[in-house]
Structure 1
Amino acid sequence: MSYLGVGVSPGNVPVYHSTNMKVLDRKIKITELVLRFVILGLGVLSVVLIMTDSQVREFFTIQKKATYTDMKALVFLVVANGLVAGYSLIQGLRCAVSMIRGSLLFNKPLAWAIFSVDQVMAYVTVAAVSAAAQSAVFAKMGQSELQWMKICNMYGKFCNQVGEGLASAIVVSISMVVLSCISAFSLFRLYGSSKIKKALW
């Protein structure tokens, strides 16, 4: 009789089913690998879409060019997505190498390091997306009480491309949150497995 990879022997001693856990480990690693490269791809896409976005409007004889640097929230979003994309590339390569070599498990210090950085990256991406989304709402809807104009009425192309970049960043943020949960599970499972091993002795 077994449940989640742990069974009970006739002597009521917990038995660790290593085969089931190896399958679970491989599924977790595949999920992590896919998410790392999704974050890498969409993070780079978001950065490219926002950084290359610009639109020039002429007001009487004055030309005004809109770029992402005009909004500090977009600068923050670009930096955050650049960082998380670079980090995901490194971690994705680590996952790929560990799967090729067959070493799916890692030690506690490394697990703590990955968990900690994943948490930081998740918070940074969520904060960046939240700030950019709030700025996007003001640009789209304006704020009549503060006499803020609807900027997107004047810079429609610019706003549309920023919206595409923001949509990519939202997926990156959600994926990073899921990854932080996976790294937390991988970390605390190491402590759970040590308890099982102690019970066997």
Structure 2
Amino acid sequence: MGVIGRKEAFLRVFATVFLVLTACLVGFDTQTKILFYSVVRKATYRDLNALFVLVWIDSAAAAYNLLQLFRCYLWPVSKEDLTSNYKYLAWGFYLLDQAAVYIVFAANSAAVQASMFAVTGESSLQWMKLCNRFTRFCTQTGVALLCGYFASIFMAVISSISAYNLFRFYSPNQFLLLKGK
């Protein structure tokens, strides 16, 4: 496994850890409060559809990164593999990495946007603020969303490595080397 392959594997491990951390922090986060002296209210990730979708998307992205990590270790790219057949696989890996990054980032952004209603409320729709009552739940969800953005950053770097692995087939032999005078 080359230097780029080791870096890609290292980044995939970090992305997987942050994706699993995000899914677990959101998925297992609950808080129960007694409201109005008799009504028991339990806040979970299922109360907000964006958090529910985030858990499933981050879990799927973590599984995808694990599969790609096993591919990095079981089938490292050598000089002999750099044929036109590998070019098609490189296109597939590049497109899958791009799709994974965009979907994880979009799910995180949707969860942040939906969570802002829990923080600020919406008086015109008569939605009350929930984070002033469920502070631990909201804090843990906020930390999880931050972890999700870190995972998105790691996956974006992985996607750029995947782009490098693809587009080196279409470049001269000395790709990204500065020309001497």
Which AA in structure 2 matches 1:192? S
- What residue identity is the alignment partner of 1:57? K
Report the Cα offset of residue 166 of structure 1.
0.9
Task: Report the CA distance between 1:194 and its aligned residue.
Answer: 7.6
Quickly say closer, same or farther: Cα 1:195–1:37, change in 2 above 3 A: closer
Question: Any conservation in 2 of the 1:142–1:150 contact (CA below 8 Å)?
Answer: yes
Whole-Å Cα distance in 2 between the matches of residues 138 and 185 of structure 1? 40
Look up the SS of the partner of 1:159 in the other structure.
helix
Q: Which runs of 4+ in 1 moved over 4 A?
A: 193-196
1:147 paired to 2:122: no
In the alignment, what sits opposite 1:156? Answer: 135
Which structure has more relative contact order (CA 8 Å, sep 6+)? It is 2
Which of 114, 124, 146 matches 1:135?
A: 114
SS in 2 for 1:152: coil
Kept in 2: contact 1:39–1:84 (CA 8 A):
no
Cα distance in 1, alignment partners of residues 174 and 23 from structure 2: 44
1:34-91, Cα deviation, whole Å (9 max, x unpaired): 1111111111111111111101111221111111011011011111110110000011
Distance 1:175 1:57 in 2: 37
- Structure 2 residue aligned with 1:103, among 74, 78, 86? 78
Q: AA paired with 2:89?
A: L
Pairs within 5 Å for 1:1-201:
26-59=2-35, 60-99=37-76, 103=78, 107-193=86-172
Give, as a single letter, the amino acid of the residue that structure 2 aligns with 1:73.
A
Q: Which amino acid aligns with 2:137?
A: F
Paired residue total: 170
Structure 1: which 5+ residue stretches go unaligned?
A: 1-24, 197-201
Q: Deviations over 1:2-42 (max 9, x none)?
A: xxxxxxxxxxxxxxxxxxxxxxx833212211111111111
Alpha-carbon separation, structure 2, partners of 1:181 and 1:194? 19
Determine the structure 1 residue equivalent to 2:178. Answer: none
Partners of 2:127 and 2:157 lie apart in 1 by 37
Whole-angstrom CA distance in 2 between matches of 1:180 and 1:146? 41
Q: Which has the larger radius of gyration?
A: 1
Separation of aligned partners in 2, 1:164 and 1:195: 43
The structural deviation recorded for 1:144 is 3.0
Aligned amino acid, residue 40 of structure 1: T
- Tell me how large the CA RMSD over aligned residues is: 2.1
Offset at 1:143? 2.6
Measure, in 2, the Cα distance between the counterparts of 1:142 and 1:178: 35
Given that residues 49 and 162 in structure 1 are in contact (C-alpha distance below 8 angstroms), is that contact kept between their aligned partners in structure 2? yes
User: What TM-score does the superposition give when structure 2 sets the normalisation length?
Assistant: 0.85
